[in-house]
């Protein structure tokens, strides 16, 4: 094969600890809020449903 078909790929690895921390905090809060909502549903709304 000829050298005309060679291609160079430049891959930059970016490490931004500030963004990683912000993302971790964001998804942590989303998880906590979801757990609080599920706790509320389990303790207050499910008992209101008439069972047999």
Flag whether pLDDT at 5 surpasses 90. Answer: no
Measured CA to CA, the distance from residue 25 to residue 19 in angstroms comes to 10
Q: What is the pLDDT of residue 10?
A: 82
pLDDT value for 35: 98
In 3D space, the residue among 21, 24, 20 whose CA is nearest the CA of residue 32 turns out to be 24
Q: How many whole angstroms separate alpha carbon 41 and alpha carbon 33? A: 12
Note the pLDDT tens digit of each residue in 9-52: 887 776 677 788 999 999 999 999 999 999 999 999 888 888 75
């Amino acid at each position: 094969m000829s050298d005309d078909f060679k291609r160079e790929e430049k891959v930059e690895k970016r490490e931004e600890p500030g963004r990683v921390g912000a993302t971790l905090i964001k998804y942590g809060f989303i998880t906590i809020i979801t757990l609080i909502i599920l706790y509320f549903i389990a303790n207050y709304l499910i008992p209101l449903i008439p069972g047999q």
